[in-house]
Structure 1
């Protein structure tokens, strides 16, 4: 005898279901944003050149009928992308706020900063020297890494869950990074989204660490909102976003002044830029490539800032400060700046953090800013002091 429960259709998966189902691997990707959760499995086609994405999507027939591209694009323009068209895609609404963000249980971690703090201060001081006077270089973003090693490595599925619940209004990602590596993180910064003809970008630049003391936390937020140095740094980014999107948009609205955006670890100066496309055929990925890299992760002018980064940073950024997200065959998509992230491979977890350097920068304060940005991951691992 058939029962009522057997006749009832199975319940649709929720964002929490997809988050719980994620397991790391070279053919799996998780994207959890304030509006949706996406779990991709299986590789229908690899895409190492973003310019071929439209052709790859046009020829794809993944399970379920929806053609998507997911993955990451590196910081360096000549490095291969880590994008793929998945065989299967499941989507749901956002993961509800309020879940556990307790540290991931893991064995003892050993840490090694690259460069050492003194080396980073020296690099910032050299950048400030280059920015002085009538130099054409106006801003350069300098990063450092924290290399963590532990027998057995990190539990990436548990880490992804903790990242989502720590910052439910951020953009959590876990995508293949080449070989056995996984890029995992929780970015606060939407580079660009496109839904139909509507375009949104949310550039961030200018930051201050949060405080556990509510009074001090509010003081820091107010100080950031009125900081001439940080407002100038933010203006570089907002102007660059305006210039990059203007050729593609019939209408474009850029706020006159930034507002504050908060994450669990940081305050940021934020501007929400909105526009209407001139040509409906322009895809979210095309817009992302036009914007990347913004002065928030590279500097300005872009070529000179890239050259300074290559000379002053003693490591390859890889996918850090690149672009990560998804796009579909209709051109819609959501791409974020690859920040607050780590590259996990075996026993190693390599964390990244950077700070925007302008002529008024203080090396000690820029070092402190990168330390604060490491907290997103260090909190998840229960390693608040390893920075």
Structure 2
């Protein structure tokens, strides 16, 4: 269908919405047509909307960057595809293109985050190797309800199925009711719950032994010239007395990690994935591409003086600078292979989080019209920041040394809108959720000069930090 910037004055005359839907329905030759209606909202908290509309325990996608004052909640999929096997990025793009061909847009399309958005998740590998496949290799959906707020401007996007027999009066009423509920509800999420309390032992000795042996073996492969870097991860599995309450958990994450990207996704089987990632793999806005090169880590200090010394040491560390340059060079080379001319915005600088700090470089470029976001995503995943280098050598070693599957850990999660804009986060600092069972993931990069015991200490710190953010616990 033709994209039509028809402005719907719902607040003044709700009949206009009905007439707009009727026009779209009459002009459509497709039995599965969709109308996407964007309506302005006052400043609001999409996390509150996720909870208030009753979708926190149902299939959803939530993403927020607190310092950028941007958040989006997507609920109730109406068009969805699960993809297994290879060529998943291209198949995802084909699905998005097919749905857009039968979608008409209307309303306040000038607002940020207006228009139909497609929410995507990809597993790290396209096939599981040690366990049953928990998630499809790729999942993409268009939600019926999308609530976003960007720097104080709210927007509701309603994606409505317009079958030939659709009850337009009912659809109109449902949009009006949701819009009115969001108008009069509290704009800010109010934390009313405490997080579950549990006792968690130290990560077991067998995990430490396994990691140290894998790190030593990796260093041997590096000395032989078979690898330059390998990112080894470990897990920590815990149980809570009750399932994590989603909204309070996300609220705690965003309060603690304002410089991270807070995310949550859930499928129809009750499986969830939640985290606070410091790394944005890719963002495209009006033809401008931005990617993070994030590698090299150090703890934060207990005093300002100690903290400054640790940061200065990280900026001068030959080992960490080498690790960071591997990631930066990979991103630049992959972009160049697509015909994109990248450049770095600045030298490596510190990204400082509450318990850890990283070396970070932003890579930017102008995106040619012929190249879509998912083309770039396919070229970049996985970067040496989460896998290793050379990529073709690193991936088999990950399967050998990690006796568990990563599933969505360290994989791309994000959205693409109807104009080709989008943002994808790397799913690190994250945990799988199934009922009251949590599996936390964390990793560390092994390069020449790495000390396996120091790398294990980094993994342990990351696991403990994430656990503290998710639950109240005692060691």
TM-score (norm 2): 0.73
Aligned to 2:213: 122
Structure 1 distance, partners of 2:203, 2:267, is: 21
Q: Which has the larger radius of gyration?
A: 2
The answer to whether the Cα contact below 8 Å between 2:203 and 2:460 also exists between their aligned partners in 1 is no
**What is the aligned counterpart of 2:96 among 54, 57, 62?**
57
Structure 2 distance, partners of 1:341, 1:293, is: 16
Structure 2 distance, partners of 1:101, 1:129, is: 50
- Structure 2 counterpart SS, 1:371: helix
Alignment partner of 1:186 is 2:214: no
Aligned to 1:14: 43
- CA 1:51–1:267 in 2, change beyond 3 Å: closer, same or farther? same
**What is the aligned counterpart of 1:40 among 67, 74, 98?**
74
Query: Residue deviations 1:8-50, cap 9 Å, x none?
Result: x9982535x2112224344211110225211101112223333
The answer to whether the Cα contact below 8 Å between 2:59 and 2:76 also exists between their aligned partners in 1 is yes
Structure 1 distance, partners of 2:353, 2:118, is: 28
Aligned to 1:308: 397
Structure 2 distance, partners of 1:131, 1:202, is: 25
The answer to whether the Cα contact below 8 Å between 2:430 and 2:441 also exists between their aligned partners in 1 is yes
Structure 1 distance, partners of 2:412, 2:421, is: 16
**What is the aligned counterpart of 1:195 among 279, 285, 307?**
285
Structure 2 distance, partners of 1:205, 1:103, is: 36
Q: CA deviation at 1:55?
A: 3.2
Structure 2 distance, partners of 1:173, 1:246, is: 30
Structure 2 distance, partners of 1:217, 1:100, is: 33
- Structure 2 counterpart SS, 1:116: helix
- CA 1:89–1:129 in 2, change beyond 3 Å: closer, same or farther? same
Unaligned runs of 5+ in 2: 1-10, 15-38, 84-88, 108-114, 128-135, 154-188
Query: Residue deviations 1:220-272, cap 9 Å, x none?
Result: 11111100000000011000000111234553212574111111221100001
TM-score (norm 1): 0.88
Unaligned runs of 5+ in 1: 1-5
Count of residue correspondences: 377
Q: CA deviation at 1:340?
A: 0.6
Alignment partner of 1:82 is 2:139: yes
Structure 2 distance, partners of 1:205, 1:102, is: 37
**What is the aligned counterpart of 1:68 among 117, 139, 160?**
117
Over aligned residues, Cα RMSD in angstroms? Answer: 2.9
Q: CA deviation at 1:342?
A: 0.6
Q: CA deviation at 1:192?
A: 0.8
